[in-house]
Amino acid sequence: GHIFSGLRSLKDGKQEFLHGHTNNVSCVTVSKSGRYIASGQVTFMGFKKRAIHARLQLHKAKVEGLAFSPNDKYLVSLGEQDDGSIVVWNLESKEVICGSPASAHSAGHCLTIDGTMRVWELDLPNRKIQPTECQTGQLKRIVNCIEIPDDDLFFYCGTTSGDILKVNLKARLLNTVPLVFLVQGVNTLKVLKSGDILVGSGDGMFTLCSGPNFNTIKLSWRGLTSIAVRGEGHQFFAGTEIYRLGYTDFKEELIATSHNSAVNDVAFPFGSSELFATCSQDDIRVWHAETSKELLRLSVPNMSCNALDFMIDGHSIISAWNDGKIRVFAPETGRAMLVIHNAHSMGVTAITGTRDCKRIISGGGEGQVRVWEILQGCPWLIETMKEHKATITSIKIKSNDKECVTARSDGACIIWDLVRFVRNQMVLYEIITSGTDRKIGYWEVYDGSAIRELEGSLSAHLTGRAAPCHWYSTLYIGFVGGEERLVKVWDYSEGELTHVGVGHSGSITSVKISTNNRSMVSTSVDGAVLRWRYPQPSSP
């Protein structure tokens, strides 16, 4: 399989990928000793310690939660609603000890281990687990997360209502009146040895509760989903975007960021591989390639950026958005330089700039291709070309700015004359049933005839968009992405597959090579951005 968990060094930031899953990883946990990592997926789960220690298959669908026993002897896993079971595994023998339905039907769907306020006792000799319901009186809450301190006297529950419930573990009774202070719910919490509680909320707030005192800091515009404590609690980490905080000064340091939804496109500045930009729901991000640090974020809330490009002079980033607008930003400051309203009626889906930096060519969901001229900061619509009958997915301009080729979602491409604004050639490379033919084609520019056809994938459909890759006397058309989640490189002259890159956990949405041929970046629907060594992209 090609679905990955990842390790990242705190010292130098280097990453290592653990592979073995065959579907998306749904949860990850680390044993108290640090010896084991357990990861669960949609169809089955397995644990990893660089090499796979065991692959355990029992749950019918998604693994909702995982937890190690403090002594590293047992692992508990929780199946999702279609499964509804809680299972105890023996780590030494790698076998099931016992299992049981996680909750009564009246209790609802179990979200986390013990998420329906049940305490389970393991009867190892008889290979059974027995639950006891916790008594909370009239109080009814949906529990997001649970934390048990080392003394085992109480456990704490974070709820969707923003409460933290303190429950007596032995008596199974609610001990204190719930503390209400987080509007969008408690997503995650950790109890320190000092008794202080770290809380991450759905509105991106990170809070240290020390007795009656609260120290709160706004870390993210997204909700915090996890907290990890380092050492004795002198330092801790919070995600989704990863922040490092100190216990004494509570000062935050952003150490890693990532997209939280599908990455739609990637672009390099002309002649450089030091920087690149990616776009997704809500924003465009500019990255430093060598360090993977986010340098700039251009936010447009509640909108999705479908495509982007750097103008060749490097003075602007042009972008295509689903609200039908073209937005132009300054790449150094993020300042909005220009907005073209109503550029396309069904969203702007493809965009590029001419070599002379005077024109922008855009494509839309309705299939139209439009040429815009930028005069003294004002956009003028020069021409609309209407022969496409499906969404425009990609545009490439010839180096002399006199021709461009546009690709549409069904695989057909048109070569346009940008002087007379008429069609020169059409390449009817239709994809049957969303890419089931799995082909990559070479086409003669002069008359649109097929020269060569390559097998893009032997085992999976190519689900990405058609992309004109190179201009020579021939036009090379590839189809990025696919269910294989592999990045493939072919030799242009010989048409031979030369390299295969393994690293993506979701279908690939775009692949770009820097114009100086020193770096390649690919993106996928799970929010991943991977940078590869080029032309030897053997590992990310």
pLDDT tens for the chain, 540 residues long, are 344 456 777 666 677 767 666 666 778 888 888 888 888 876 544 444 345 666 666 666 678 888 899 888 999 988 876 567 889 989 888 888 998 887 653 333 344 444 468 899 999 999 999 999 998 888 888 888 899 998 899 999 999 888 888 999 999 998 876 666 677 899 999 988 888 888 888 888 888 887 766 677 777 766 788 888 888 888 888 887 788 888 888 788 888 888 888 999 999 999 999 999 999 999 999 999 988 899 999 999 999 999 999 999 999 999 999 999 999 999 999 999 999 999 999 999 999 999 999 999 999 999 999 999 998 889 999 999 999 889 999 999 988 999 998 988 877 788 899 999 999 888 765 433 333 455 666 666 666 666 666 666 544 444 445 566 665 555 555 555 556 778 887 777 777 778 888 888 788 888 898 888 888 899 998 889 999 887 654 444
Q: What count of residues does the chain have? A: 540
Tokens standing for 472? Answer: 């020579």
Question: Do 431 and 479 contact (CB within 8 A), yes or no?
Answer: yes
d(CA 3, CA 526): 11
Q: Is the dihedral of CA 15, 16, 17, 18 positive or negative?
A: negative
d(CA 346, CA 189): 43
Cα–Cα separations (whole angstroms), residue 58 to 55, 87, 198, 215, 367:
10, 9, 34, 43, 48
Half-sphere exposure of 487 (CA within 13 A, CB side): 28
3-state secondary structure (DSSP) of residue 463: coil
d(CA 426, CA 416): 9
**What are the two backbone dihedrals, phi and then psi, of residue 106, each rounded to the nearest 5 degrees?**
-70, -20
d(CA 277, CA 512): 11
What single-letter DSSP state applies at residue 178? P
Angle 465-62-488 from CA coordinates, rounded to 5°: 30
Q: Is the dihedral of CA 312, 318, 320, 324 positive or negative?
A: negative
What does the pLDDT look like over 473-521, one tens digit per residue?
Answer: 555 555 555 567 788 877 777 777 788 888 887 888 888 988 888 888 9
What does the pLDDT look like over 143-155, one tens digit per residue?
Answer: 888 999 988 999 9
